Structure 1
Amino acid sequence: MQDFAPFSLYPYDPVKPLPIIFTIIVFGLGVYHGVQTFLRYKWPRFGFMMTWASAVWMAGFITRAYSVYHPTNIPLFICQYVLILAGPPIFAAAETFILGRLYAYLPYHAPILPGRVLSTFFILGIAVEVLASNGASRIANNTGTSEDNLTARYTGISLLKTALILQAALEVLFFSLVGHLQYRCTRPGSHFPHNVKVMCYLLYITSSMMFVRCVVRVVEGFELGSCGPTSGYCGPVQQYEWFLWVFEVANITIFVAALAVFTPGKYLDRDTKRFLDQRDGITERMGPGMENMDHRPFIATVLDPFNVCALIRRKKPFPEFWLEEWPVADGSRERGNVALTTKESQKEGLMKV
């Protein structure tokens, strides 16, 4: 640990060029994501999530770049801490969008309504974000030894630990859903096409990286709880800056880069009504979309995306529309599986009908 100014809010001498370097890197990745998602593959909602997350994270780095030259400025310190903490959960919400598209592409393997994967994780993520931001703000803004300051600080620590544990639990749930999808795809008689395989492996990697980040943040939260009322910082995660740059910043930057290289628009179509024929695992068909076949009220789909109520009544959670004959999708693109041209697809569809 390096020497630092006696009145610095940082427990180390911050490396001043790093916030600027990562601002440039994240800006470049954000622009690349924008070109790929908005212009090339037309995935605006995914592009919006990635752009939003990149903007929040860059704001954190820009604020930190200024804060490290003013280490006694409490508002700046709180702002950079909260913004850097807030970026990764938004990136995590973006990867749930990919899982939702996978379920729309393979509706017969979906345990949850595809269109509610993003909303479910996003709502839960917002709750986690509010807890984490509130906790971080209370911790950073109450450094005195008065009874009120100590109470607010310990409350903030409890909120932050709860938020980080919940975020780790969300990543475990997400990882489990991806594993469930792969398990269903690899059962005898099922198909695991290359484009789906690439997306599943990508989500395994990104989810694991996010989980590592959550674990380190949880350790930091428990370190804060073990500090004495006047010690401020204790434990290696808080006292050594490299934990932040390795497990938080570099780790999530690689996460963002992976989503840029293996952009989902390259492997999955933007139309949620396009699905893969369950029988041959090759032909893409145009169906009604699972959301249009689920006739429950909108609020019911939000509150019960898994349709547990139907399962309790021992009914099918979702209409099995894929068992019917649907027209072959036009303009099949090469996604790594045995893609058909438009004429071949139409001929295949006529033969099956």
Structure 2
Amino acid sequence: MVDTVPDGSVWFYDPNRIAPIVLAAVFGASGLVHAWQCYRYKCWKLTGWAVAGAAAYCGSFVARAFGAADYKGLTAYVVHFNFVFAAPPLFELLNYGILARVAYYLPYHCPIHPGRLRTTFTTLATIIEVLGGYGAYYASKRNEPEGEQAIGRGCLLASLVLQTILIAVFLALTSVFHVRVRRARSARGSGPDSVIWVLYASSLLILTRTVFRVVDIVNLAAFNPKKNDFDPSLVPAIVRFEWPFYVFEASIMLVNQLMLHVAHPRRHLPEDNAVYLAQDGMTELKGPGFKDNRNWCLILMDPLDLIGLFKGTDKSMKFWQNNGFSELSENSRDQPTRVQHRQRRKR
């Protein structure tokens, strides 16, 4: 590690010239493979966010490659900075959608109504993403007044903290759902159970990256290059050296991206989200689906339908209670069953 800051470098170091090119190619190729998988499994609504996330990372590393050739140029740095902060929330949206799809398939085990789960997390994640996008733009503009940069760093830090909290809540909800699935035993060891384990791994990877970025932004905000005259000894190590970025951002998110290729959720879930697994763990039924017929303004303001819960009008959506399989005895429920759909969809 070189303990000096190159004169005029907006990166605080001399960026590696080879790694960004390699990673841009890998993320770009991964995005194309994800697009092919979306086409093959007909699941653009389910895993299309993986394509968008790969494209964002590819764009960020292309910009970083240009920045490595001219480390004094601000444009490449700004483009890289904004793309690299925009990509992980897209993978969070992907995870929220996958959990919702598993909940569609096993609706009677979900702590909240499956039709509300995706709406709630997507709405909150979108608000956080807008806040983070605003913060990333102004935090990366090194030629702007220090006051505007400070506001940008503050907004970006707030969005990262909120992302951390939202991921923690998501993991808690996933755990409750998973415990219910495991206790029922009808779906244990089946495809949905495998998908949930992948969600754990993906969420923990993104959480690790987000915590790293919180520490990074806090250290960046604490260092004022104008007051410290670019003294390398005063620049925090997490900012001064390039390796933390490749260890805690690039490699982690690349593992997350590649993991979704190998353990693609559509291999274990039906194409139609109206299809769900009956309580016997063997029979697949097609229900009416989970379309929310409320006004879109009401959906945005009350994604959990607390009004419907209070009035009791949400009970009509629990269609699985009247499918003829909901009154199974405990003895029959404890018997291990072979999930027939698993063999049919194995590819």
The TM tier, using the shorter chain, reads: 0.7 to 0.9
**Which deviations, in whole Å up to 9, do the C-alpha atoms of 1:230-257 show, x marking residues without a partner?**
2478322211211111111110110011
Within the alignment, does 1:241 sit opposite 2:237 as a pair? no
Structure 1 runs of 4+ aligned residues shifted over 4 Å read 188-191, 313-318
Return the match for 1:220 from 216, 220, 230: 216
- Give 1:107 shift: 1.2
* Distance 1:109-1:318 versus aligned 2 partners, 3 A rule: farther
Find the aligned partners of 1:97 and 1:4 in 2 and give their Cα distance.
43
* Distance 1:179-1:134 versus aligned 2 partners, 3 A rule: same
Find the aligned partners of 2:28 and 2:185 in 1 and give their Cα distance.
45
SS at 1:173 equivalent: helix
- Residue equivalent to 1:209: 205
Within the alignment, does 1:154 sit opposite 2:150 as a pair? yes
- Give 1:23 shift: 1.0
Question: Map of 1:233-312 to 2, 5 A cutoff?
Answer: 234-278=235-279, 280-291=280-291, 295-312=293-310
Find the aligned partners of 2:38 and 2:274 in 1 and give their Cα distance.
19
* Distance 1:18-1:116 versus aligned 2 partners, 3 A rule: farther
* Distance 1:251-1:312 versus aligned 2 partners, 3 A rule: same
- Give 1:298 shift: 4.1
Find the aligned partners of 1:153 and 1:295 in 2 and give their Cα distance.
43
**Which deviations, in whole Å up to 9, do the C-alpha atoms of 1:150-179 show, x marking residues without a partner?**
211221121111011011111112111211
Find the aligned partners of 1:7 and 1:229 in 2 and give their Cα distance.
11
- Residue equivalent to 2:10: 9
* 1:181 partner amino acid: F
* 2:249 partner amino acid: E
- Residue equivalent to 2:344: none
SS at 2:23 equivalent: helix
Please tell me whether the aligned partners of residues 9 and 77 of structure 1 are also in contact (alpha carbons under 8 angstroms): yes
Question: Which structure 1 segments of 5+ residues have no match?
Answer: 328-336, 342-353
Question: Map of 1:133-152 to 2, 5 A cutoff?
Answer: 133-142=133-142, 149-152=145-148
* Distance 1:340-1:139 versus aligned 2 partners, 3 A rule: closer
Give the number of equivalent residue pairs.
Answer: 324
* 2:49 partner amino acid: M
- Residue equivalent to 1:109: 109
- Give 1:188 shift: 5.5
Question: Map of 1:79-94 to 2, 5 A cutoff?
Answer: 79-94=79-94
Find the aligned partners of 1:307 and 1:313 in 2 and give their Cα distance.
10
Find the aligned partners of 1:4 and 1:271 in 2 and give their Cα distance.
55
* Distance 1:267-1:189 versus aligned 2 partners, 3 A rule: closer
Please tell me whether the aligned partners of residues 120 and 304 of structure 2 are also in contact (alpha carbons under 8 angstroms): no
**Which deviations, in whole Å up to 9, do the C-alpha atoms of 1:2-47 show, x marking residues without a partner?**
24421111112211111111111112211221222212x1102234
**Which deviations, in whole Å up to 9, do the C-alpha atoms of 1:49-98 show, x marking residues without a partner?**
22122111111111110111111111221111111121111122112111
- Residue equivalent to 1:345: none
* 2:12 partner amino acid: P
Find the aligned partners of 2:235 and 2:129 in 1 and give their Cα distance.
24
Please tell me whether the aligned partners of residues 161 and 221 of structure 1 are also in contact (alpha carbons under 8 angstroms): yes
| TM-score of the two chains, using structure 1 as the length reference | 0.84
RMSD value over aligned CA atoms? 2.4
Find the aligned partners of 1:317 and 1:252 in 2 and give their Cα distance.
40
Find the aligned partners of 1:189 and 1:65 in 2 and give their Cα distance.
51
- Give 1:274 shift: 0.6
Please tell me whether the aligned partners of residues 275 and 287 of structure 2 are also in contact (alpha carbons under 8 angstroms): yes
* Distance 1:50-1:318 versus aligned 2 partners, 3 A rule: farther
Please tell me whether the aligned partners of residues 285 and 326 of structure 1 are also in contact (alpha carbons under 8 angstroms): no
Taking only the aligned residue pairs, the percentage that are identical comes to 27
Find the aligned partners of 1:109 and 1:89 in 2 and give their Cα distance.
26
Moved more, 29-38 or 302-311: 302-311
Please tell me whether the aligned partners of residues 192 and 281 of structure 1 are also in contact (alpha carbons under 8 angstroms): no
SS at 2:317 equivalent: coil
Within the alignment, does 1:52 sit opposite 2:48 as a pair? no
SS at 1:275 equivalent: strand
- Residue equivalent to 1:72: 72
Moved more, 315-324 or 96-105: 315-324
